[in-house]
Structure 1
């Protein structure tokens, strides 16, 4: 590896890529419950070639990791998402695209070519396994073989990585940002897809300013679009400055509309400058909407507009309240927890509805990094918090809930997570009783190598 690669923290340790595509039967210790049947899919950035010069963690080629569970046994399979970018670089045998699509650092061979990486989220909808990222079509893969099938064009354009699936109707709601002829623009889209995968609607609108609108919120009847001051600028990128940067003077806005309405009805609420990568869940009660979110005071992982280093930051769980009947457009902020964390999750059967149970990856050290050394469970009814802390520098992925049965109560089931064992430089799939995580895993499937740090995962009942 060249000097740039050695010093880039997102190409070292367990951020470093694993370039082999493997199939393993995993050794199980403890007990993987026989009622746990299906697959945990995880995804993350895994550049197939060493990047030259600038590299951002969000820009690596997507790799899907599948843990297939049946009868107390676990099989593992991983495959690259063979996007057009991956194929072009594979053909030429080297890295071609600039970080985050930066045209100033893109090889002439790649100019005008598709640069999607499909590395941020992976989920099942309408019988398809979809790999998603910030700014391209969803990419379809075979759920059992992880064979790449190509872009799903039914969405009629780009879709960001955080769609929401209504647990009652099966409808998928989604959005996109940077929509329009010019990249890094303030154009956005909002869309709905039927349970069978057909497009119901897609509408375009303009945000207050161009930004990285990483995720959004959905209730039973409303959709909410956070426009937060991690700004996007093509002009800045063409000057050699960061395409995405923290500009708190822009303020923070959230657009609210009914799910079935026209985008012209968007009402913009405001809050002090902050950043949210991931909401936990959202619901409505009468004229009020509640959104529990992991809120940062500043956006981590990104520089300031002048290119200088950004500040370290950690997220904590915060409740945003929107009063649709009130005269004020201010968002009411209420702290919910004092433990740093990320990747919050609920039982998928209560998404868009009021929840009782919440889980997230946590950092009890207060180090303000993306490394998470614990898993937390919050009972919103009792206020009780449980924490399972890892030892020896071990780190956890986003925890993913799996129901015990179709008619089980909310939170009755298992929690799954992929844990990197720092001392051994390899990973395990860990299974917990979801409402008693403090006692530790009830079953572990041991990997012979590591799974690099990634982003999101979801369970599928195959």
Structure 2
């Protein structure tokens, strides 16, 4: 019996106290809290389902073959303390395109924490906001594996935001197979946003922690066997979220947004501070170099969640991504004990470019666009590591625009060379997911960089229905070329990935 089968069926409800939502597939307990990340578009679903031959509005492209995977929080039990979206049990959702038809599957990631809570019949983790009574739980803050997702070595890999233990899932059924062990590596932990280089099939990974070495960087071959790993010398524990890579280098991040180790050791919790007087540092390391080979470049203080792409131009290494100069906005009056969590989740960032000269040590940096608040930025994976031009971001309303919580209200395509952008508004009360770029079958670097499709999920809070949208990447302003109607409401989530048909169905 799987962990999911051990859970008791939730009581269904047909209304929300306070009138926040109207649907019947969310657990009763979510209505007992004022936490907005448990209501409306964020409310968890309760069923694992598989559905074939989904209805399609518009014309489904005949050459669209592969799967859109998306991860995100989907809590099973009422949180014992204050709920944070990082605490929500990971649930993967897959939309599969094959033979002119579309199917859908969703499954919880069967983590150790998920299994233990199934046995206990309640949530026992203190959660990332505490208080931290670890002796009650075997696993302390639970690794929910709810953050990142990608296909590697024939399996789906699911990872957690805070350098957790990755899980392997069957790419078609999404059944959890267990932890993802890299052959030859002793350490299990991997950070979310480790990267698969489609040109080599290699996994470029990093992890970090509270004890030396505070960061490591490594590479696994396409079969999952460790090829290389080195320790990275940092002045203390950090919270890097992503890395960049080029044909010959990895770009590692030392960001001035980290926690006080004295508070952690003495009181058991993290107090994050953005140190505006400490430069941001980027370390450029040859892919198979020693830790001592890293070269650090100092930039303006900032925090970075997600890198779009990186490449080499002669003596220069270029990195595009989204930059935040205010990773911990001020808490707002009246938000009570959730104020700091709500502030942290209100993401403020813009499209940005950094350039590093490996010969002279010169740094050049600046805005690609400073007019839009965008993040969850993706680009064509075929071009990762080499020069690229286009990126696909989610538009995020700021607090004064009604952005009380993190949500995506529009898709933005950027020409990162010119700063020009094109937008598609999801509509009033409609919220999107991270969009992925899906290249056409057989596409390579000689193909047009944007001659493919952009795919996302949306949930309409007016009807509590969800769809998967497919856009022609060359013209997102025309709107989706087709809409796939999903069999149930899909809550807000974190990251998504595209699996090519030739990787997912190699026998076809």
TM-score normalised per structure 1: 0.91
Partner of residue 321, structure 1: 355
Partner of residue 340, structure 1: 373
- Cα distance in 2 for partners of 1:38, 1:86 equals 29
Partner of residue 446, structure 1: 485
Tell me how far 1:301 sits from its aligned partner. 7.7
Contact 1:342–1:360 (8 Å) recurs in 2? yes
- Cα distance in 2 for partners of 1:373, 1:74 equals 25
Tell me how far 1:296 sits from its aligned partner. 0.9
Find 2:239's aligned residue among 192, 212, 228: 212
Q: How does 1:9-158 map to 2 (within 5 A)?
A: 9-25=36-52, 26-100=54-128, 104-106=131-133, 108-111=135-138, 115-133=142-160, 134-154=162-182, 155-157=185-187, 158=189
Once the two structures are superposed, residues 124-144 of structure 1 have per-residue CA deviations (whole angstroms, 9 ceiling, x without a partner) of 111111111132232001111
Extract structure 1 runs of 4+ deviating beyond 6 A: 301-304
Residue 199 of structure 2 is aligned to residue 168 of structure 1: yes
Q: How does 1:28-427 map to 2 (within 5 A)?
A: 28-100=56-128, 104-106=131-133, 108-111=135-138, 115-133=142-160, 134-154=162-182, 155-157=185-187, 158-178=189-209, 180=211, 187-237=214-264, 238-239=266-267, 242-300=270-328, 309=340, 310=343, 313-328=347-362, 331-337=363-369, 338-363=371-396, 370-380=406-416, 383-407=419-443, 408-427=447-466
Gaps of 5+ in 2: 1-27, 333-337
Pair 1:326–1:84, CA change in 2 (3 A): same
Q: Which has the larger displacement, 281-290 or 16-25?
A: 16-25
The structure with the largest strand share of the pair is 1
**SS of the residue 2:33 aligns to:** helix
Tell me how far 1:73 sits from its aligned partner. 2.1
Once the two structures are superposed, residues 285-342 of structure 1 have per-residue CA deviations (whole angstroms, 9 ceiling, x without a partner) of 12211111101111158979xx9735755211010111222255xx422110122111
Pair 1:381–1:167, CA change in 2 (3 A): same
Pair 1:405–1:298, CA change in 2 (3 A): same
Contact 1:373–1:390 (8 Å) recurs in 2? yes
C-alpha RMSD of the superposition: 2.6
Once the two structures are superposed, residues 131-158 of structure 1 have per-residue CA deviations (whole angstroms, 9 ceiling, x without a partner) of 1113223200111111110002224321
Pair 1:364–1:234, CA change in 2 (3 A): closer
Tell me how far 1:217 sits from its aligned partner. 1.0
**SS of the residue 1:75 aligns to:** strand
Pair 1:281–1:56, CA change in 2 (3 A): same
**SS of the residue 1:50 aligns to:** coil
Contact 1:96–1:106 (8 Å) recurs in 2? no
Contact 2:191–2:206 (8 Å) recurs in 1? yes
Pair 1:92–1:51, CA change in 2 (3 A): same
- Cα distance in 1 for partners of 2:469, 2:331 equals 35
Pair 1:3–1:378, CA change in 2 (3 A): closer
Contact 1:40–1:458 (8 Å) recurs in 2? yes
- Cα distance in 1 for partners of 2:243, 2:192 equals 10
Pair 1:176–1:162, CA change in 2 (3 A): same
Tell me how far 1:49 sits from its aligned partner. 0.9
**SS of the residue 1:105 aligns to:** coil
- Cα distance in 1 for partners of 2:234, 2:315 equals 24
Tell me how far 1:273 sits from its aligned partner. 2.0
Give the number of aligned pairs: 454
